[in-house]
A and B are shown apart, each in its own frame.
Chain A
Amino acid sequence: MKDKDSNSDVLVIGAGIAGIEASLMLSKSDRKVNLVEKMSYTGGTAIKFEEVFSNMECSTCMLSPLQQQLLQDKNIKLLTLAEVKDVKGEFGNFTVKIHKKARYVDMINCIGCNACFEPCPVSLKNEFEEGLSERKAIYVPCAGALPNVPMIDTEHCLRFNGKDCKACQEACMFEAIDFNQKDEQIEIKVGSIILATGFDIFDIKKIPQYGYGKIEGVLSALEFERLYASNGPTEGKILLKNGKTPKSAAIIHCVGRDEKGYCSSVCCLYSLKFNHYLKSKIPEIKIFEFYTELSIPGKSHQKFYEKMKDIGANLIRAYNIEVTKQGQGIDIKYNNGNGKKNNVKVDMVILAPAIVPKNDASDLAKIFDISVDKFGFFKEAEHNVSSVFSSKPGVFIVGCSQGPKNIQDSVSQASAAVGKILSSS
C-alpha cells in the first residue's frame, strides 16, 4: 500500500463512459484528475450509438450531460490527442510521460461554429462514421462531439504537406487556428492510475464466408449503428449503397466467437435492439436473425427480448453460415438447429462481431507493466477477488479493456476502481 507522502492525484486513461464516470467521481471527492484521451473527443464508443438497450434510451442524451460536466470540472484536466509513453514508479508515486499531439486549433478561442470546415479543400473518409461519410482535414468527428473543437489531421492537411494553404485560418473569425502549435511532452506525477481504454471489434475480413468487405450491403454492427444515428452519415436513414431502402435484412450473431474463444456478452442484446432500429424506420421490413446461443442474462433483458419478438424479430438458430452475392441481393446459406440446410435472400446483412482488445492494449500493458490474458485483455490480479486490480498495485483496469461487458458493468467497475483508490489513502 501507499505511504504517507504519496500523491493523491489520479491518472485516468480513456475518456469513454468508464473513464468519464471514474473522473467525475474522483473530482467529487476533491481529487485532481488527469484524463488522457487518444482521440480528439470524449465519449468513447458509446456515443456512436443512437439508442441503448434495454430501455432504448438516447445514448447521446445520456452521455452528453456527463461529457459537458467533465469539460467544466475544475478538478479534471482533460488531455485530448494524448497518449502515455512512459510510466515509472509505484503505487502512490508514479511519474508519467505523455505525448500530446497538437490540435492546431485553440481550445479557448474556438467557439465550435464549424466555419473552418467548408473551405478546406481536402476530403477523405470519416473514420468515426466507419468510412460511411466524408470529412475534411480540419474536422470534428460528428455533430455534437465534445469538446466541440475541431482538429487538423496533419497527415492529410495540405499545409502540413508542403502546400501553402490556409483556407481554414482565413475562414476562422476567432483566430483559433494556430499552425504554430507544437506537440507537447508532458510529465505528470500521480498516485494511482485507472486504465479505461475500451475495445475494438473483431476484424470480420478474417472470416471470408461472411462476405464482409466484398459484398455491398454487408455491414458491421458499428456501421449499422452509424447508419441509424440521427447525427450520422445518412441522418438516421437506413439505406443501401444504391440509395434504396432495404426490404429485408439479416442480423448475424457470434461473428468471430469461435475464432476468439469467448462470448462477447453484449452482441445478443444489441442485435435484438437492431430489430427495433430496422422496424422503427422501415415498418414493413422482413428481418431474419441468426444466432447460436441466446445470451441475455439479467433481470431486465428477457423482457426486452420478448418485446423485440413482438415487433417481429424472427430468430433462427443457425450454424455454418455463408453469405454470398446473388444478383442484386445477398444469399445466406445456413444449417438450422435440426441440421437441415436452408437459405434466405436479403438486401442487407448486419454482422455482430466479437469484442476484442484495443489494438494498442499490449503496448499499453508494457508501458504500465501489467499482464494481459491470453486474449490480450488486461488481466486481473491473481489471488484478488476484485476484477479491477491489475497485476501491478496502483494500476486499475475497468470497462472493456478488462474484458467484454455492457455499459452498466463498465460503470460499476469504474466506480469500484475509484472506491479502491479512495479507500487506500
Chain B
Amino acid sequence: MDMKIGVYICECGPNIAEKIDIDKVIDAVSSLNNVAVVERYKLLCSGDGKKFLGEQIKKHGLTHLVIAACSPREHQQTFMEVCENAGLNPYLFQLANIREQCAWITDNKEEATKKAIRLTKAAIERVRYHTALVKKQIESNPDVLVIGGGIAGIEVSLQLASPDRKIYLVEKTSSLGGLIKNFEKTFPDMQPCQEFIKQKINDVNKNANIQVLTDSEVKEIIGFFGSFEVKVKKKAEDTDEVNFDVGAVVLATGSTLFDPKELSEYGYQKFENVITSLEFEKMNLSGKITLKNGESPKSVAIIHCVGRDKKGYCSEICCMYSIKFVKYLKDKKPDIKVSNFYSDLCIPGKSYQQFYEQTHGNNVDFIRAENVEITKKGNQLNILFKDEKGIKNNLLFDMVVLSPALEPACNTSQLSELIRVSQGDGGFFAEEHEKIGPVSTSTEGVYIAGCSQGPKSILDTITQAGAVSGKILSSLIPGKKIEPEVKVSHISESFCIGCKTCLNICSYGAITFDETKKISVVNEIICRGCGNCVAACPSGAASLKHFTFNQIYQELKEAV
C-alpha cells in the first residue's frame, strides 16, 4: 500500500495563526514525498476539529498522520484517540509542537515560521519510519507471596486474602508475629498489644485463603508482574520444596537491632545490667523488671541514639519507645528514677509531644548529652557524658537500657539479589520513588512494607501494609488482564555481541542472557521502555520501539 501522509496545521485560534505564517508552512511541506494532503484548521482539539480529522483520515485513506499544533503534553493523547477511532494505528502519528516551541516564545514571525517549518518537516520525516505498535494483554495470576510474618506481612495477608486470591505467607522463624510479640504495649496510646497480635495470628491461621509456611525461606523467584514462579524451602527438611505461582510479591521482612557490642563505650555484654531495648521489652513483658542479682532497680538510664552515627540515620522510633519505657517503669515502680540521655528529641506528629509531656517531672529527666560512656562503679553503672553546656559530668544508675538503631533484617541482601530489588539508604529496600512511590519498587509487582523499607513505627507499618494492599488490589485484579508497555526495547539477534553490558544497566531485570545463542534477550513484558540499554549498547543491537535510531535521526536531520 502506498504511503499517504496527512499533515494538519492547527491555528489554535490566533495563538498559532497570528504568530506563524501557516500558508508558508503548508507551501514548504506540500511537495514532500508521500504527503497526500496538507490543511489548516482553526482548532483541531475541538469537537469539530476531532471530527474533521477522523473524516480526513478515512476520506484520503491516510496511512500516517502529522499534526502541527501544541505540546504533546496537551493533546498527544487526544489525537492518538482520534487515530484509533478512525482505524489508524495511533503510533503512526507524530505531533510537531509549533505553539509552545515556536508561536509562544518569540514575536518574530519570520523566525517562528522558519522553525515551525523545520519542526513540521521533522515530524513528517520521522513519521515515515513509524511502525504500528499493538497493545498486548496478558493473563495474570492474582495470588500473592508475602515474605515476612510480622505485623506488616500479617496485615497485607489478611487484607488481600479472598476466595479468588490466595496468599502464601512465608516466615523464616517458627511462628508468626514478628517483633511485636515482645511488646506489652504500643505508643502513644499505651494499648496492650499481646491480645491484638494473638488475635491477628489467629485470624491468619483460620483463613482458608492464606497458606502459612513457617520455618521457610524463599529460594527462587522468577518471572514478572502477574506471573512469578516461586520456590520455597522448609529449613528442617532438605528435600522438601514448595513450588507455586503468584502475580505479586510483598517484602515485609522487617528489621533487627544494631548490635551495641560494636560500640565498646556502651559496655554492652561487658557489664551486667546494661541491656538493649528489646531485652528490656521482654523483661517488662515477663512482668518483672529486675537486676541480674534479682533486686529491683532504683534508677534506670535510657540511652537514645545508640549506633545512630555509625548507621548514618535516625531510626525514628527510639525516642518514642524510650518514652514508653519511662511509662513502663513508672507504672511498675512509681518512685523509680529514670534519666533519658538523648541528642535530639524526635517526636514528630500530632500525638507524640503530648505523650512525651505526660512523663515530665516525678523523678524523670531528659538530659541532652554527648560522648556517652558507660563504666562500672561499685555495684552501679557510671554514665560519663558531656552535657548541653559542654561540661563533663557523670551519674550513677542501677540499670542502663540502650536504644539501638534499627537495621535491615539479615536476609535483606540475599532477597535483594533474588528478586532484583536494590538496597537503598541504610541497606533497606529501595522504594520506586521517595515521595510518590513509597511502597512499590523498580521491579513491577514487587512491593515493600514496614521496616524492610526503612525504620518506622507500628502505626506507620500498618499504614504501609494498607498501601501495599491498595496497590495490589488496584493493579492485580482477579480475571483482569495486564497491559504491558508497548514502547519497549528490542535487541537484534544478529547485532548483539553478547557483552552483557545491558544486563547490568537494566534496573527492571527485563534482560536475560541466552547462553546457547550467547546474546541478550529482552522480556517485553517486564521492560518499561526507559532506553538505558539502548544508550549503553556498544554494538547498536539494542533499540527502543518508537524511538529507533533511524526515527530519531530522520527527525533530527530536519529539525537542526
Contacts and interface: CB of A to CB of B under 8 A. Distances in A.
A422 interface: yes
Interface in B357-396: 368, 388-390
Given A407-B436, A418-B470, A385 B349 contact: no
A54 interface: yes
A243 interface: no
Contact of B160 (A28, A263, A293, A423): A423
Contact of B467 (A298, A302, A412): A412
Contacts of B347: 263, 293, 295
Contacts of A21: 436
A293 B348 CA distance: 10
A326 B475 CA distance: 60
A420 B466 contact: yes
Contact of B435 (A30, A62, A68, A298): A62
A29 interface: yes
Interface stretch (B22-30, B109-117, B308-316): B308-316
Interface in B463-478: 463-471, 473-475, 477
Given A29-B477, A299-B425, A408-B438, A262 B354 contact: yes
Interface string A359-381: 00000000000000101010000
A64 B71 CA distance: 14
A339 B389 contact: yes
B541 interface: no
Interface string B301-330: 000000010001111100000000000000
Interface in B443-476: 454-456, 458-460, 462-471, 473-475
A408 B73 CA distance: 26
B474 A303 contact: no
A167 interface: no
A114 to B, nearest CB: 10
Interface string A396-423: 0000000111111101111111111011
Contacts of A422: 470, 473-474
Contacts of A377: 350
Contact of B436 (A28, A62, A339): A62
Nearest to A423: B159
Contacts of A296: 314, 346
Interface stretch (B9-17, B265-273, B282-290): B9-17
Nearest to B408: A299
B474 A28 contact: yes
B353 A261 contact: yes
A82 to B, nearest CB: 24
B213 to A, nearest CB: 23
B348 A386 contact: no
A45 to B, nearest CB: 13
A385 B458 CA distance: 9
Interface string A275-317: 0000000000000000001111111111100000000000000
Contacts of A158: none
Nearest to B471: A415
Contacts of A188: none
A403 B316 CA distance: 17
A303 to B, nearest CB: 6
A317 to B, nearest CB: 8
B77 A265 contact: no
Interface residues of B, number: 67
Contacts of A165: none
A37 B416 CA distance: 41
A406 B348 CA distance: 11
Contacts of B470: 25, 415-420, 422
A297 B474 contact: no
The B contact surface, by secondary structure, is mixed
A420 B43 CA distance: 44
B469 A295 contact: no
Interface string B35-76: 000000001011100000000000000000000001001000
A404 B434 contact: no
A418 B473 contact: yes
A52 B433 CA distance: 12
A145 to B, nearest CB: 14
A86 interface: no
A388 interface: yes
A373 B349 CA distance: 13
Contacts of B426: 299-300
A109 B48 CA distance: 11
B13 A385 contact: no
Nearest to A296: B314
Contacts of A174: 13, 43
B467 to A, nearest CB: 4
Contacts of B389: 337-339
Given A62-B435, A337-B389, A385-B459, A295 B346 contact: yes
A180 interface: no
Given A66-B436, A337-B388, 5 more contacts: A29-B477, A109-B46, A111-B70, A301-B314, A411-B467
Interface of B: 12-15, 43, 45-47, 70, 73, 77, 159-160, 162, 196, 308, 312-316, 344-354, 368, 388-390, 424-426, 428, 433-439, 454-456, 458-460, 462-471, 473-475, 477
9 tightest A-B contacts by CB?
A: A419-B470, A416-B466, A265-B348, A415-B467, A297-B316, A173-B13, A419-B469, A422-B473, A299-B454
30 contacts: A17-B436, A21-B436, A108-B46, A113-B14, A262-B350, A262-B353, A294-B346, A297-B314, A297-B315, A297-B455, A300-B425, A301-B313, A301-B314, A302-B308, A302-B313, A302-B314, A303-B312, A338-B388, A338-B389, A385-B459, A387-B463, A408-B438, A412-B460, A412-B463, A412-B464, A412-B467, A415-B439, A415-B470, A415-B471, A423-B162
